[in-house]
């Protein structure tokens, strides 16, 4: 095997307003031809910057030292990318190394047909006639699994689904037959079932096209599924490098061990759920539910001659006091819409939704305001759910002030300190501004704000999906502890089955606005009945290479029977 990429003692620093910051310090890596090297690490660990340096794709403020030697696929010439500029750099890009970005919807230009965008790359590197280039583009589209490529080559990006767009981006990378493809979180923006297909395609890139892949990801399941070798990065350094089996079975570095331990695994929650069920008082099942939905329908009105969009269609469920309902579904399944409807942020169009005794179908804001006091909400993105100009203490005090439990934020400070302590944040964090906290800390503060009024119902809309795995584990643990202590009912919305499984008493699976399956974790995850749930479960990559290989064959079997 030959080395395609040889990074030696790479150091990258950035000029920022606060001075110079080292993003990568002393990284050495080799990528062999035809292998998948996964670089894993938390956000800010320098994994993306390292991979981007292979293509010379760094902002102007970056300063690079060290060498990144890129060898072309046939092994004839190799050169250091770091000092390259202008046309020499352009020569290398695309031909020797190509890139697949995270967000397929933004990495394609919306005003050009996809074929044009593929051909643009082809013509930049070779003297091909229009016809030859088009034939090549059609060919590569077919090979990445776009049906009817002859016709679809003239379609625009918005005419493709998210998964297809990512296939096109991969086609764009493959068309020049590069020696190495850098895939920066290629499946993070995609649903689990689509992710499985893209991973399959990337595997084919390696097997059929013989391209080496540098896979940047934070998802250990994806690593187990695709990678041959793994490099773990932490604070700009590589802490461990090993082949995938060794890494998962015998991680050496304490950081890797901690990272692997934090990954939620399916089936962990069964024992937990049983424990919780045993603790319930008799007669609990007869208690009036906190939330009860019957044939709930939520329709977003269409704009100008476009048909209405039914986001939620005939969904019935109930949450009893002290119960945690996990709502799982892919993007567009209507799971967030249900959460927003319960909080009175979205109007209910049909059926009935009772929240703490109030009917939400046709509710009046004035009548609902007293009920709001009894509902807490934790938002998905901790970065935007805090007013950037208020301190954390002011933000947490906001519900107390609004509902007249305190005169002003200062009067509420004692209670705020209690709340911050409850979510394990030091008191003095109250004086900080949101941007001075990390994502996990912010999400804990968000939890404190949600619980400030001691609500009977907490709605958590993907509270951990923007967080790193290790941080996610801590926030989930905290959520569980607080729930046990305070006994609030909760609707926990997530796209991640394993996360929901950890916390929820009951799991409800949504698919295109309909509730396809509901039951305890053991029922839904252990013996799924609906084909969609089965497919969802089979596509979820587990952080264990051997187990994942077995599951992949199952998934393939399931896929062919469809």
Partner 1 sequence: MATATTVATPTRKTWRRLPIVKQVRQSVGLQRGMLLAGLVLTGVFVLTAVFAPLLAPYEYDQLRDAAGPFGAQAHPSGNHLLGTTVGGYDVLSRVIWGTRTALAVIVIAVLLSIVAGVLLGLVSGYFGGWLDRVLVVVCDAVYAFPSLLLAIIVAIVISGGQSSLIGGVMAAAISITVVFIPQYFRVVRAETVRIKSEAFVESARVIGASNWRIMVRHVLRNATRTLPLILTLNASEAILTLAGLGFLGFGIQPTAAAEWGFDLKQSLADVSSGIWWTSIPPGVAIVLTVLGLTLVGESLNDLADPRLRSRRAADGPPPAGTVEPGGAVVNSAGYVA
Work out which of 218, 297, 372, 535 binds partner 1, going by CB under 8 A. Answer: 372
CA distance 2 to 24: 25
For residue 363, the minimal CB distance to partner 1 (Å) is 13
Which of 207-215, 251-259, 290-298, 374-382 is the region at the interface with partner 1 (rule: CB under 8 A)?
374-382
CA distance 97 to 76: 15
CA distance 14 to 66: 15
Which of 289-297, 381-389, 411-419, 485-493 is the region at the interface with partner 1 (rule: CB under 8 A)?
381-389
Does residue 488 belong to the site contacting partner 1 (CB under 8 A)? no
Does residue 377 belong to the site contacting partner 1 (CB under 8 A)? yes
Q: Let me know: does 543 contact 40? Beta carbons within 8 Å.
A: no
Work out which of 61, 109, 268, 454 binds partner 1, going by CB under 8 A. Answer: 61
Rg (CA), the chain: 25
Does residue 379 belong to the site contacting partner 1 (CB under 8 A)? yes
Work out which of 3, 6, 8, 22 binds partner 1, going by CB under 8 A. Answer: 22
Site size toward partner 1, by CB under 8 A: 49
Q: Sort 72 into a burial class: Cβ within 10 Å, 0-12 / 13-18 / 19+.
A: middle
| DSSP summary character for residue 289 | P
Does residue 387 belong to the site contacting partner 1 (CB under 8 A)? yes
CA distance 197 to 380: 26
Work out which of 255, 386, 479, 532 binds partner 1, going by CB under 8 A. Answer: 386
What is the torsion angle, in degrees rounded to the nearest 10, for the CA atoms of residue 69, residue 72, residue 75 and residue 78? -30
Q: Let me know: does 7 contact 67? Beta carbons within 8 Å.
A: yes
For residue 371, the minimal CB distance to partner 1 (Å) is 9
- CA 547, 552, 557, 559 dihedral sign is positive
CA distance 464 to 504: 14
- Write out the binding residues for partner 1, residues 391-410 only, by CB under 8 A: 395, 398-399, 402-403
SS3 209: helix
Which of 193-201, 244-252, 372-380, 493-501 is the region at the interface with partner 1 (rule: CB under 8 A)?
372-380
For residue 344, the minimal CB distance to partner 1 (Å) is 8
Work out which of 5, 13, 198, 472 binds partner 1, going by CB under 8 A. Answer: 13
For residue 33, the minimal CB distance to partner 1 (Å) is 28
Tell me the helix, strand and coil percentages in the chain, rounded to 5.
Answer: 40, 25, 35
Work out which of 432, 512, 530, 559 binds partner 1, going by CB under 8 A. Answer: 432
Work out which of 2, 159, 384, 454 binds partner 1, going by CB under 8 A. Answer: 384
C-beta of 20 vs 109, nearer to partner 1:
20
Upper half-sphere CA count for residue 200 (Cβ side, 13 Å): 18
C-beta of 15 vs 135, nearer to partner 1:
15
**Could you write out the DSSP letters of every residue in 494-517?**
ES-HHHHHHH-SEEEEEETTEEEE
Does residue 62 belong to the site contacting partner 1 (CB under 8 A)? yes
Q: Kindly report the CA angle at 363 between 357 and 369, in degrees rounded to 5?
A: 70
Q: Let me know: does 81 contact 71? Beta carbons within 8 Å.
A: no
Which of 18-26, 157-165, 301-309, 314-322 is the region at the interface with partner 1 (rule: CB under 8 A)?
18-26
Q: Let me know: does 483 contact 450? Beta carbons within 8 Å.
A: no
| DSSP summary character for residue 320 | -
* Adjacent-strand bridge partners of 182: 99, 214
Residue count of the chain:
562
The pattern of x and - marking residues 332 through 361 that bind partner 1 according to CB under 8 A reads -----------xxx----------------
CA distance 12 to 7: 12
Does residue 106 belong to the site contacting partner 1 (CB under 8 A)? no
Does residue 331 belong to the site contacting partner 1 (CB under 8 A)? no
Q: Let me know: does 538 contact 554? Beta carbons within 8 Å.
A: yes
Does residue 388 belong to the site contacting partner 1 (CB under 8 A)? yes
C-beta of 436 vs 554, nearer to partner 1:
436
Does residue 49 belong to the site contacting partner 1 (CB under 8 A)? yes
For residue 389, the minimal CB distance to partner 1 (Å) is 5
Work out which of 51, 100, 146, 437 binds partner 1, going by CB under 8 A. Answer: 437
Does residue 219 belong to the site contacting partner 1 (CB under 8 A)? no
C-beta of 140 vs 327, nearer to partner 1:
327
Task: Name the site residues for partner 1 (rule: CB under 8 A).
Answer: 13-23, 43-44, 48-49, 61-63, 343-345, 369, 372-373, 375, 377, 379-381, 384-390, 395, 398-399, 402-403, 432, 435-439, 441, 449
């Amino acid at each position: 095997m030959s080395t395609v990429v040889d990074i030696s003692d790479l150091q990258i620093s950035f000029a920022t307003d606060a001075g110079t910051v080292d993003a990568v310090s002393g990284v050495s890596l080799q990528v062999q031809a035809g292998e998948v090297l996964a670089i894993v690490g938390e956000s800010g660990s320098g994994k993306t910057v390292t991979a981007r340096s292979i293509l010379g794709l760094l902002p102007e403020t970056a300063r690079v030292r060290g060498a990144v030697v890129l060898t072309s696929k046939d092994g004839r010439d190799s050169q250091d990318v770091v000092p390259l500029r202008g046309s020499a750099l352009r020569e290398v890009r695309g031909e020797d190394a190509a890139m697949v970005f995270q967000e397929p919807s933004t990495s394609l230009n919306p005003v050009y047909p996809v074929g044009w965008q593929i051909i643009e790359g082809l013509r930049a590197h070779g003297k091909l006639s229009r016809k030859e280039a088009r034939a090549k583009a059609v060919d590569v589209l077919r090979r990445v699994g776009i049906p009817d490529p002859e016709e679809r080559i003239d379609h625009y990006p918005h005419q493709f689904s998210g998964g297809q767009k990512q296939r096109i981006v991969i086609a764009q990378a493959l068309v020049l037959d590069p020696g190495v493809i850098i895939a920066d979180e290629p499946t993070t923006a995609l649903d689990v079932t689509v992710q499985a297909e893209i991973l399959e395609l990337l595997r084919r890139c390696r097997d059929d096209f013989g391209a080496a892949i540098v896979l940047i990801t934070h998802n250990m399941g994806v690593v187990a599924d695709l990678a041959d070798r793994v490099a773990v990065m932490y604070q700009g350094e590589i802490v461990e490098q090993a082949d995938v089996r060794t890494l998962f079975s015998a991680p050496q570095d304490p950081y890797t061990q901690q990272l692997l331990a934090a990954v939620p695994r399916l089936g962990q929650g069964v024992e937990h759920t049983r424990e919780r069920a045993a603790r319930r008082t008799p007669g609990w099942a007869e208690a009036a539910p906190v939330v009860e939905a019957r044939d709930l329908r939520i329709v977003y009105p269409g704009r100008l001659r476009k048909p209405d969009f039914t986001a939620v269609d005939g969904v019935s469920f109930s949450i009893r006091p002290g119960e945690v309902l996990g709502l799982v579904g892919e993007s567009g399944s209507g799971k967030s819409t249900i959460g927003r409807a319960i909080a009175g942020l979205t109007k209910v169009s049909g059926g009935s939704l009772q929240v703490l005794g109030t009917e939400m179908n046709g509710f009046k804001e004035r009548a609902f305001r007293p009920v709001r006091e009894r509902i807490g909400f934790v938002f998905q993105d901790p970065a935007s759910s805090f007013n950037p100009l208020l301190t954390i203490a002011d933000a947490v005090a906001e519900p107390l002030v609004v509902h007249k439990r305190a005169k002003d934020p200062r009067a509420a400070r004692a209670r705020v300190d209690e709340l911050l302590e409850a979510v394990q944040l030091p008191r003095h964090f109250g004086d900080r501004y949101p941007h001075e906290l990390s994502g996990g800390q912010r999400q804990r503060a968000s939890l404190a704000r949600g619980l400030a009024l001691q609500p009977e119902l907490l709605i958590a809309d993907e509270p951990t999906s923007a967080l790193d795995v290790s941080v996610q584990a801590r926030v989930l643990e905290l959520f569980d502890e607080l729930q046990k202590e305070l006994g609030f009912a909760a609707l926990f919305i997530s796209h991640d089955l394993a996360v929901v499984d950890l916390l929820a008493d009951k799991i409800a699976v949504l698919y295109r606005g309909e509730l396809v399956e509901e039951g305890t974790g053991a029922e839904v995850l252990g013996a799924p009945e609906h084909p969609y749930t089965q497919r969802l479960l089979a596509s979820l990559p587990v952080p264990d290479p051997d187990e994942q290989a077995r599951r992949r064959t199952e998934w393939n079997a399931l896929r062919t029977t469809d």
